[in-house]
Amino acid sequence: MGHIERISGPLVIASEMLGSKMYDVVKVGDLGLIGEIIQLKKERAVIQVYEDTTGLRPGEKVESTNAQLSVELAPGLLGNTYDGIQRPLEVLKAKSGSFISRGLTANAIDRNKKWKFYLEKGIKNGSMVKEGDILGYVKETEYLSHYIMVPLGIDGRITGLKEGTFKADDKIAVVEKGNKKTELTLIQKRAVRSPAKFTKKFRSEEPLITGQRVLDLLFPVAKGGTAASPGPFGSGKTVIQHQLAKWSDADIIVLALCGERGNEATEVLTEFPELKDPKTGRPLTERTVIIANTSNMPVAAREASIYTAMTIAEYFRDMGYSVAILADSTSRWAEAMREISARLEEMPGEEGYPAYLPKRLAEYYERSGKIEALSGKIGSITLVGAVSPPGGDLSEPVSQGTLRVVKTFWSLDKSLADSRHFPAINWLNSYSLYLNDLNAWYVKNLGEAFVENRIEVARILQKEAELKDIVQLVGAEALPDAERIVLEIGRMIREDFLRQSAFDEVDAYTSMKKQAFMISSILYFRKRADDAIKSGVDLNSILKLKVREDISRMKETKEHEVDKAAQRIRSEIDSQFSALLKEYKENNR
């Protein structure tokens, strides 16, 4: 038992803490505020407190729990909203109202709800088990089985294992090793700052389908990959994160609202329960876990929140699921580290951030990936981090540290957002290093033409940008028709394909099949236009073709109508260009 010696905002220095270990969780003061030891100096411990320290006084007690900051993992996680240290916000609200009382705690997992537990085939009493082995499963939702695994660090002979209906903390089995007996329940705990063990890591060759055309076509991220979306205020970072949460084809979504404004977090918490999962038709919350630590919550808990989210993601990954963790935003996390570092009086690095910021960023992003779990199941974590550089300056430390470790970069552009082009992702500055790894998947599922079309789209957009510079000097009319058509096709790609409405019932999500149809139609129009120009047809006549309106409205096509629409538009392109060529030949006999 120690005592408070000094208080500096969220940092508390306690004396008489001999025997304590780094990252032990402690209870601070008479209210028992939750904190974590982040520095030890002889018998003194430096503690970051995850609650408001107003009113604490020197001399109050500090008690160590002799355990690291951990999360509870069990059936009942899905559909819940937690704060940065996994306190269930709905439970806390019921206890203290809209504002959380200091020192208030609650179990992360409901201890009263009962679950039907089924044994895994091949597992029986007397079997030898090791950490990560699957003992059985609980049907947490209609479409998702929650696998019960042997906790990390435990192995031996299993006894007393049985099927039945249990509460989360009821004993379901005992693992014996020598004279040591360990009781197992549906709950296990994992320390948040230590990566979970796995057998091996793979290169991912399957894309995370997002339904966002600019991402899926030009800048895809692999399942198990990493992506960053830096951008200034108002450029749509949060909307991108929400669209990924709603529409990506990951099995589980973990949404980490780290330091976001309270009104944005409120929007998520009120909107998500009303959304339906497009894959199942069930509420989207049934495959979502939300970690909400808003900007008005204690800064130290913000620093811990993304580790809490990652540990939950690793737990579901070890069951063999594809997990997407959406961190919004890592800049707020870095700012929390900077504040704690300053109060520790550490030597500051660039712009006041701690010198170990790049290392922490790399360690965090490296916890993503596609892996073989200890049980033999294959799972993945795709990590998408939003970055909020001040003034959109990508040379600042958090952006630079992030770009060093991620392989997909979605550059959000304020000028695009101001012109109402969403998603406001700059197609000239963004990139994906997964394209070569994913090509085999695209060829197998969408055909070689899709890969060729993607390359052609990138080439047209680049050429359009070059021509725009010339147009500013000499005007569009000075260009030959062969180059003016490039400008027009570039505009069609931008307006009719890349621009997408998050609020339109049909346009909010586009399947890969529909994307292939849309872009192939635009490029086929371009091919016929090039041929017509070579035959002498005037560009203005081409631009008057009615089929251009049909192409611009392709995004309104419903998914079940794609095949018919594809045939109709291809036929219209052919017939209208044939008529145009015929008219041209007749007029020039």
pLDDT number for residue 277: 78
Rounded distance between C-alpha atoms, residue 25 and residue 27, angstroms: 7
Q: Mind giving me the DSSP string for 470-527?
A: HHHHH-GGGS-HHHHHHHHHHHHIIIIII---TTSTTTT---HHHHHHHHHHHHHHHH
Q: Which two tokens stand for residue 17?
A: 């803490």
Q: Is residue 207 within 8 Å of 511, Cβ to Cβ?
A: no
Asked whether residue 451 falls in the same domain as residue 524, the answer is yes
The parts of the chain modelled with pLDDT lower than 70 are: none
Q: In whole angstroms, what separates CA 23 from the centre of its chain?
A: 27
Q: Is residue 21 within 8 Å of 7, Cβ to Cβ?
A: no
pLDDT number for residue 283: 82
pLDDT number for residue 481: 92
pLDDT number for residue 474: 86
Asked whether residue 321 falls in the same domain as residue 374, the answer is yes
pLDDT number for residue 74: 97
pLDDT number for residue 285: 85
Q: Which residues contact 407 (CB under 8 A, 6 or more apart)?
A: 221, 222, 225, 226, 227, 432, 433, 434
Asked whether residue 511 falls in the same domain as residue 578, the answer is yes
Q: In whole angstroms, what separates CA 296 from the centre of its chain?
A: 23
Rounded distance between C-alpha atoms, residue 218 and residue 497, angstroms: 11
* 94 inside domain: no
Q: Mind giving me the DSSP string for 196-218?
A: PP-SEEE---SB---S-HIIIII
* 53 inside domain: yes
Q: Which of 38, 68, 98 is the last residue of a domain?
A: 68
pLDDT number for residue 165: 97
pLDDT digits 0-9 by tens, 318-377: 999 999 999 988 999 999 999 999 999 899 999 999 999 999 999 999 999 999 999 999
Q: Which two tokens stand for residue 377?
A: 């199941």
* 565 inside domain: yes
* 440 inside domain: no
Q: Which two tokens stand for residue 370?
A: 């596609």
Please give the single-letter amino acid code of residue 477.
E
* 24 inside domain: yes
Q: Which of 433, 461, 485 is the last residue of a domain?
A: 433
The CATH number given to whatever domain includes residue 54 is 2.40.30.20
Determine the 3-state secondary structure of 165 from DSSP. Answer: strand
| Distances from the Cα of 528 to the Cα of 47, 487, 550, angstroms | 69, 15, 16
Rounded distance between C-alpha atoms, residue 246 and residue 275, angstroms: 8
pLDDT number for residue 284: 84
CB atoms < 10 A from the CB of 180, how many? 9
Q: Which residues contact 537 (CB under 8 A, 6 or more apart)?
A: 580, 581, 584
Asked whether residue 155 falls in the same domain as residue 222, the answer is no
Asked whether residue 484 falls in the same domain as residue 523, the answer is yes
pLDDT number for residue 281: 78
CB atoms < 10 A from the CB of 201, how many? 14
Q: Which residues contact 496 (CB under 8 A, 6 or more apart)?
A: 518, 522, 551, 552, 554, 555
Asked whether residue 568 falls in the same domain as residue 538, the answer is yes
Q: Which of 68, 96, 124 is the last residue of a domain?
A: 68
Mean pLDDT rounded to a whole number for the chain: 93
Q: What stretches of 248-297 show up as alpha helix (H) in DSSP? A: 262-271
* 8 inside domain: yes
Asked whether residue 285 falls in the same domain as residue 225, the answer is yes
Asked whether residue 519 falls in the same domain as residue 478, the answer is yes
Asked whether residue 219 falls in the same domain as residue 258, the answer is yes
Determine the 3-state secondary structure of 344 from DSSP. Answer: coil
The CATH number given to whatever domain includes residue 116 is 2.40.50.100
Asked whether residue 265 falls in the same domain as residue 341, the answer is yes
Asked whether residue 159 falls in the same domain as residue 228, the answer is no
Q: Domain of 302?
A: 200-433
Asked whether residue 279 falls in the same domain as residue 243, the answer is yes
CB atoms < 10 A from the CB of 359, how many? 11
* 123 inside domain: yes
Question: Number of structural domains, the chain?
Answer: 4
Query: Do the strands 288-293 and 81-82 form a parallel or antiparallel pair, or are they unpaired?
Result: parallel
Q: In whole angstroms, what separates CA 142 from the centre of its chain?
A: 24
pLDDT number for residue 492: 96
pLDDT number for residue 238: 81
Q: Which two tokens stand for residue 584?
A: 């041209």
* 250 inside domain: yes
